Chains A and B, each alone.
Chain A
Amino acid sequence: MTLAFVEREGSDPTEETLEMLTLARELADGDGESLDVVAFAGGSRLSVDELGAYGVDEVYHVVHDRLDGYAPEAWGESVAQLASDVDPSAVVAPGTDRGHEVLAHVGATLDVPMAANCIGIDVVEDGAYELRRNRWGGSLIEHARLEAGTTLLTPAEHEFPIEKAESTTDPSESEFTPSLEDTQFRVQVERVERADEEGIPLGEARVVIGGGRGVGGPDAYDQLEELADLLGGTVGASRAAVNEGWRPHDDQIGQTGAKISPDIYIPCGISGAVQHMVGCKGAETILAINTDPEAAIIQKADYAVIGDLHEIVPELNDTIREA
């Protein structure tokens, strides 16, 4: 059996969870076993209605009187206890902060290996797994062999499409109550503080204008902001621009910044380092503006304009405004 850890928003599984279920179902189908999921109840609980479409056979709701908020260690311990009970061949979690955190606790508790960022997995003889996973944010692929009583895996973000199962299932439901100790609640969310977000968050923007070292200083971002406004988008930055202090780190796109998936990304004065490009792999179209026709970004973009962004962007703004 494959056991999948489900993150939910209200009673619905998150998008990253649905991506992860594509991988989990491949594993379950691969060894002809069932696909079971585990979700934490508290306030509301996961609705099973939608899950049949994704081939889920059984849903375990974790129920415990102290588990109404997120507590990483207690959650990890609960999943580990359920895994010890139901003995899955693999436990899979979404490739998110929370998915990684919970699964790392499961790995530490069960003392078994965990492989993050997987992009493809084959079950081979003796129940071993041959897998491919992203390194360097996907600019390098590692082929590895994992052999453990229970294999712990997360998919790389946006590597697996959200896909329904070929035949719909009718999931059964049950409750699981772990036995938890005080120490497992040493770490828990005390409160959630809402940010008063201005503008569109980078991760959700349909249009992103990127500014790198070529922008030359903080003031010239005004032109990029104007272009973003005209196109209903948001401005992002390279790490070089953030390091210069021209933009806050929240604007950084890349391996150690935000991952974006807009309809169009327009990097201006950005050279196209691998660590930057892994942040914009999800972009439908890339249109680069750069003075250097040899810059790596020119190979990686769909369209390019060769020239000085300080001349091109204002002219572009004027033309769009007049149109």
Chain B
Amino acid sequence: MNVLACIKRVPNTGAKIVLTDDEQRIDTTNLGFTMSPHEECAIEEAVQQTEAHGGSAHVLTLGPEEATEQLRTGLAMQADEATLLEAGDEEWGPRATASAIANGVRELGDDGAEFDLLLFGNESADAANYQVGTRVAAELDLPCVTGIKSLDVEDGTAIARREVSGGEEVYEIALPAVITVKEGINEPRYASMRAKMQARRQDVDRREPTADTGAGTYEKVRLEAPETAESEAEILGDGTDAVANVVDVLESEVEVI
């Protein structure tokens, strides 16, 4: 069984986000990069499923050359192969991104890499439009279920579970299929130093993305870092001396005692 995990490079923001002067991007001068925890879980799931059922685990991203860093994180987590759809500086909306990924998957298929399972994050860490996986599924005419927190594959069928209030919905889907996952589906491994070194030497397959555009337009105008009210907490005291004041807040203000 071959499994694909799609991931997105995003800045690793700290406690406060700073924008560039043109308000178009996050100022990343002093920031590292990462991916959504949901996507780390997608990679781990791809690796675990291929460890259990054979086949190969593949990671893919649409992004700049620098996004090979995130692909190598995937390789260090024991994915077998990596593909970069190398984009220029232009902004890709969710629909164009999905179209490029679907075309990339078709190309990989033509080159002999057919996938039984395509994994995505439920939503990306930054833009979070909740739709790339679903749109890729529609383009490739594959069944799709989102927000999955438990997955088993038996005889070509995926048994997927989604948390709902008070329990779990259970889906049974014939493969090939698209599944978007949430953090908690597994515990992503920490890559060893050795695995990271090896990943650095592995080849990344690079391709030119192609995307079709649909009807309508969605344009980002600018970003805004909302003013966080510069409020300072009322300090109730240091150490155990503060306990009486805490009890007071719990009793008279919040009324939970």
Contacts and interface: CB of A to CB of B under 8 A. Distances in A.
Nearest to A136: B126
A186 to B, nearest CB: 4
A141 B223 contact: yes
Contact of A299 (B93, B164, B233): B233
Contact of B240 (A135, A230, A315): A315
B93 A113 contact: yes
Chief secondary structure at chain B's binding surface: mixed
Contacts of B93: 113
Interface of A: 70, 72-73, 97, 100-101, 104-105, 107-117, 130, 132, 134-149, 151, 154, 183, 186-195, 197, 201, 203, 206-207, 230-233, 239, 245, 249-250, 252, 255-257, 263-264, 271-275, 284-288, 293, 296, 298-308, 311-312, 315-316, 319-320, 323
B16 to A, nearest CB: 8
B225 A256 contact: no
Contacts of B134: 101, 104-105, 107-108
Interface of B: 13-17, 26, 36-38, 93-95, 122-123, 125-131, 134-135, 137-139, 141, 143-147, 161-162, 164-174, 177, 182-184, 187, 214-226, 228, 230-240, 242-247, 249-251, 253-257
B239 A312 contact: yes
Contacts of A195: 166-168
B240 A113 contact: no
Given A194-B167, A303-B236, A145 B219 contact: yes
B172 to A, nearest CB: 5
A149 B214 CA distance: 12
27 contacts: A72-B144, A107-B131, A107-B134, A108-B138, A110-B215, A114-B131, A115-B218, A117-B129, A134-B128, A136-B17, A139-B13, A142-B220, A144-B220, A148-B217, A183-B141, A187-B145, A190-B172, A264-B254, A273-B14, A287-B246, A288-B233, A296-B16, A303-B233, A303-B236, A303-B249, A304-B235, A323-B247
A81 to B, nearest CB: 15
Given A108-B134, A113-B95, A315-B240, A148 B216 contact: yes
B246 A141 contact: no
Contacts of B240: 307, 311-312, 315
B213 to A, nearest CB: 10
A254 B173 CA distance: 30
B34 to A, nearest CB: 11
B174 A186 contact: yes
B216 to A, nearest CB: 3
Given A113-B214, A274-B14, 14 more contacts: A97-B146, A100-B146, A101-B134, A116-B130, A135-B128, A142-B220, A256-B36, A256-B38, A273-B15, A286-B233, A293-B235, A303-B235, A303-B246, A305-B242
Contacts of B146: 72, 97, 100-101, 104
A197 B138 contact: no
Contact of B162 (A97, A100, A275, A319): A97
Given A136-B17, A304-B233, A308-B239, A191 B26 contact: no
Contact of A192 (B145, B167, B172): B167
Closest 6 CB pairs of A and B: A148-B216, A108-B138, A249-B184, A307-B239, A104-B134, A113-B218
